[in-house]
Amino acid sequence: MRILIVDDEPGMHDSYKRSFAPVSADAGLLGAMAADLFGDDSEPVPEPEPEATFELTHAMQGLDAVGHVAAAIRDGDRYAVAFIDVRMPPGIDGKETARRIRALDPDINLVIVTGYSDFSPLEISRAAGPADKIFYIAKPFEVAEVTATATALGHRWQVDRELAAARESLAAQVQLLREQSHELAANESRAIHMANHDSLTEAPNRLAFRQALTERARTDATFAVAMVDLDRFKLVNDTLGHLAGDELIRLICGNLQQAMPAGGMVARLGGDEFGLLFDSPGVEAAEMECDRMLRGCCGTFKVLGNSVQGGASIGVILSAPAGLRDPTDLMRRADLALNDAKREGRGIVRVFDESMDENVKLRRSIEGGLSKAIEKGELHLVYQPIVAREGLEIVGFEALLRWNTDAHGPISPAVFIPIAEESNLIHELGDWVLEQSLDMVKDWPGQYVSVNFSPRQFRRHNFVGRILDRVQRAGVDPQRVQIEITETAIFDDADRAAETLYKLRQMGFRIALDDFGTGYSSLYNIRKFALDCLKIDRSFIDGMGRERESAAIVQSIVHLGRSLGLGVIAEGVETEAQVQALRVAGCSHLQGYFFSRPVEAAVARTMAASLYLTNGEDDLTVDPPAQLGTGTQG
């Protein structure tokens, strides 16, 4: 047992040495003496208890004692007790020595040995406590008093260490039990998760979807149940393999989860089919949500180094508190709506009704209303500006068709254009759009108007002659008309399309290849067809900030266009970061909500007259400023 003696008087150190000197006693000699005195039959003298062995360290000053304590801690051989004098001039006194030693070693027992009362026990206890580890002996002391104190405190110090070790061991065992408990809970949680989730996408599976649907049906909520099936998914598996198919499923599942309203669920039901469950106030709202989620399934996906065109169809049914609430029937009817969407051409959302005949009636109603829309004045055009890269000058506007009906309210072009495309109404609508656009461009100081033409319009007999006739009758320079056409329109009959585009270019019309990068024949089309510019699909612009692939594709398209002497228009520009990135990349023209939403004709005239978007230090503005601002396109 190690004892530290701290006193500035050499004589006191001698006293301590004598106090702790081992007592020499010969147990055998004592036994013999007892036998002589009391006889052989006397009780034997008991063997003495082995005395404690003390290892003394002497320090003449407090700082020396503090150094000894620090060294003992460092060497792992600590002191059990320290006897400390109060007065030790010229160094630090006993109170300060005790305070510093306690700061180093909280377990050591301190004994204050003094013949003076410079400090009260309370003062010393406050400085070097706790009180149960600090004791006092008055000078001059008795040898027995010192040895007894040292022995008792040394024993206590040893017991305290053993208790601390036991507590530490117990704490470790408690921690181990907690970890084992957490591990068991985690294993149970993993088992439940595996039973209720799809291993490929980690999305809830059919079992979890049905359970959630059952629970939702027990509430008073109005909710939508939708089934999603990927379009032409088998082609991906057949051409690129099942690993590519699995990756596409993961990507689309992630997009659906991101687009899902708060509190909703996306589940993989099996194969390429997903289930959607979300609260909705009504059928139209549910359909709009499904339309939004459908867009997350469409577009070009990068799958194992290949560009894959994704698509899906959705069938949806709304469940009100007083309506159908049976989970099996809800899923079955949503499935029927999905099948109807597949039959209607894929890539669309279908809402269930009792016989699904109502969808046919609705299509006929829209078709009938569309045939009278021009006569009733329900159609109108809006215009979205196209700005030049350098000075942000407004160089043109894209004409976009809108239809607001008395019977159904606003109808999305995504709904009525396919219906018109399947009938001759597309030609009537196309002629009306062209005529309105030509009347509009005459009011602008010099900008061009960009008009979209569907594949069926482009394949119309004497397409070039019809356009030229209307332009000449309107008295508009063909150079102020840009014809936007998609790869789909020209891919089926490339030779005829090349001839048609060449004639249009010869007459002075501008030709833009819309949604560039989303088809399979992009490079071939650029080489073969007479083009003025490429329009980068908005899906790549939107992905620039999140995906290196999208940014690389945009830069590649810009570089390719510039190398071939073509303009490059970026669609769907929504943020200043996108503007700066596209300008740095060299994109010649920009279009999107960052600059302006599609505006009415009167506003377009004012913007055309203003001519320029001004480029400030940190922001982009236009005159008049009320017509511009950032926003989410949709």
pTM over 0.75: no
Asked whether residue 625 carries a pLDDT value surpassing 50, the answer given is: no
pLDDT the model gives residue 141: 81
pLDDT the model gives residue 31: 53
pLDDT tens digit sequence for 411-442? 989 888 888 887 778 999 999 999 999 999 99
Helix (H, G, I), strand (E, B) or coil at 393: strand
pLDDT tens digit sequence for 187-201? 888 888 888 899 899
Domain 206-352 has CATH 3.40.190.10: no
CATH number at 363-627? 3.20.20.450
pLDDT the model gives residue 344: 81
pLDDT the model gives residue 48: 46
pLDDT the model gives residue 618: 36
Distant-in-sequence, close-in-space partners of 33: CB < 8 Å, separation ≥ 6:
none
Separation in Å, CA 288 to CA 310, 407, 631 = 20, 18, 18
List the one residue out of 580, 604, 593, 583 whose CA is nearest residue 631: 593
pLDDT band at 184 (very low <50, low <70, confident <90, very high): confident
pLDDT band at 273 (very low <50, low <70, confident <90, very high): very high
Separation in Å, CA 584 to CA 199, 453, 480, 546 = 42, 31, 28, 18
pLDDT the model gives residue 630: 31
CA distance 156 to 495: 103
pLDDT tens digit sequence for 546-583? 778 888 888 888 988 888 889 999 999 999 999 999 99
pLDDT the model gives residue 188: 82
pLDDT the model gives residue 226: 96
Residues pairing with 615 in the sheet: 620
Distant-in-sequence, close-in-space partners of 607: CB < 8 Å, separation ≥ 6:
385, 394, 596, 599, 622, 624, 627
Asked whether residue 91 carries a pLDDT value surpassing 70, the answer given is: yes
Helix/strand/coil (H/E/C) assignment for every residue in 425-475: HHHHHHHHHHHHHHHHHCCCCCCEEEEECCHHHHCCCCHHHHHHHHHHHHC
Spell out the alpha helix ranges (H) of 322-386. 327-343, 357-376
CATH number at 2-164? 3.40.50.2300
CA distance 428 to 82: 107
List the one residue out of 553, 509, 512, 508 whose CA is nearest residue 529: 512
For 309-330, what is the mean pLDDT?
90
Tokens of 350: 């279908």
Percent of the chain with pLDDT over 70: 88
In the chain, what are the domain boundaries? Answer: 2-164, 206-352, 363-627
Spell out the alpha helix ranges (H) of 78-142. 94-104, 121-128
**Higher-pLDDT residue of 138, 60:** 60
pLDDT tens digit sequence for 584-594? 889 999 999 99
Asked whether residue 110 carries a pLDDT value surpassing 90, the answer given is: yes
List the one residue out of 236, 333, 226 whose CA is nearest residue 280: 226
**Higher-pLDDT residue of 275, 89:** 275
pLDDT band at 624 (very low <50, low <70, confident <90, very high): very low
CA distance 336 to 585: 47
Looking at 310-319, 326-335, 447-456, which range is the least confident one? 326-335
**Higher-pLDDT residue of 145, 32:** 145
Residue whose pair of structure tokens reads 């070039």 in the numeric block: 464
pLDDT band at 117 (very low <50, low <70, confident <90, very high): low
pLDDT tens digit sequence for 73-86? 999 999 999 999 98
Angle made by CA atoms 73, 74, 76, in degrees to the nearest 5: 65
Separation in Å, CA 153 to CA 66, 107, 108, 132, 134 = 20, 11, 9, 11, 10
pLDDT the model gives residue 250: 94
Angle made by CA atoms 160, 165, 166, in degrees to the nearest 5: 95
pLDDT band at 395 (very low <50, low <70, confident <90, very high): very high
pLDDT tens digit sequence for 228-255? 999 989 888 888 999 999 999 999 999 9
Residue whose pair of structure tokens reads 């030509």 in the numeric block: 438
Tokens of 594: 């960052």
Angle made by CA atoms 519, 523, 526, in degrees to the nearest 5: 105
